[in-house]
Chain A
């Protein structure tokens, strides 16, 4: 009974933390989208040097744990003498990582569109840029929605370790309450439920988006498929 009471008391603070978490995820996801799409285009249509650079970037951010990146970024800012708020560092690190993953989602989608359509667009007199923008990307973006939904849920889970730098997200508030009350189990279980609900809610929203932009002949579906533990 006591543990329920503790959870009840900590809940307002945890809910406030979920705003921080969602802000963190939203910013990182947007950053990944804005940088990931051009990166994917560069990797498919760019010259050898550009492709190598993108591959290198992806290799690095797929190979280094986020926890390590967080401390590394923290250290870099300190050595430059800049006092950066932890929230910003977390967005930057998650954003850079997400850029790497999202670029691969978009790349796969772009490559899955038959080359013939690109040729057909060029045969109609479109510039390469225009063909990519008005023919390839609209299709690639649709095909990417499930992968993107998956990336969101990965990012949400990954964001749970940002508390090591002291952001005031769900995890930070949970561990603070836990340290004070020693009700670790109940509090972390409540945090788990909160994360679970957030995941489901956003996936539902994205599924609706997918139905909205649905085009006959495309089969895709947002499930909770895919990878990434976090």
Chain B
């Protein structure tokens, strides 16, 4: 029961202008797991995440949420699916005309049909959870990058997602703001949230990932627990890539 697959993605393919961007990518996430996608820029991590909830519709492949197959042609089903799958974007994508609180509340009201005051209460709670209770009435333009990303996380959490997809949530942030966002994600992981995250934060991945998936040129070429993939002398592409990241960082 506790090893039930929350999200299962099989054989996702995507071509753009005849060029293959995703080639037969599959992924299974069980309840409470954190899967981390790593790989060089342009490897297709972001496209993969966005095709899981069909923001970029895949050409082929199947997507299952809690064992139930997603019919991508059925708009209502697709919207319902998306409402249960949280998404965090690299560049936050907050709605610029709404305050932090309204950003969190709007989908509760419009998609979940919640009434305004309940949605507001819920938004307050979620903002408190990411440490932004006192920023609820500010507009996106009045928030720092780290705060914006935390609002985006609160916005996703408010929908009670079964799984959250995080697309390099810290890579658009100034270095000193990365920590606050990672801390929130760490809390989620220890609270048992199911997540798939693309990132370049190797220390974070090593410490928290259930499994690391290494992507290159649109394919998942290695996958395994961080301790095996990154083990001393394991001679994997993943380890190779991480060492290069470290060198550049040093």
Contacts and interface: CB of A to CB of B under 8 A. Distances in A.
Q: Which of A117, A123, A130 has the most CB of B within 10 A?
A: A123
Nearest to B82: A125
Contacts of A9: none
A124 B82 contact: yes
Contacts of A218: 96-97, 141
Contacts of A138: 97
A157 to B, nearest CB: 32
A215 B97 contact: yes
A214 to B, nearest CB: 10
B93 to A, nearest CB: 4
Interface string B20-56: 0000000000000000000000000000001001010
Interface string B55-67: 1000000000000
Given A114-B93, A117-B96, A134-B106, A122 B55 contact: yes
Interface in B112-145: 138-142
Interface string A112-147: 011011011111111100100011001100100000
Q: Is the contact region of chain A dominated by helix, strand, or loop, or is it mixed?
A: helix
Given A117-B93, A138-B97, A217-B141, A127 B55 contact: no
B243 interface: no
A216 interface: yes
B53 A123 contact: yes
Interface centre among B84, B95, B139 (most CB of A within 10 A): B95
Given A124-B107, A215-B139, A216-B141, A116 B97 contact: no
Contacts of A139: 95-97
B96 A125 contact: no
B79 interface: yes
Nearest to B103: A120
B53 to A, nearest CB: 6
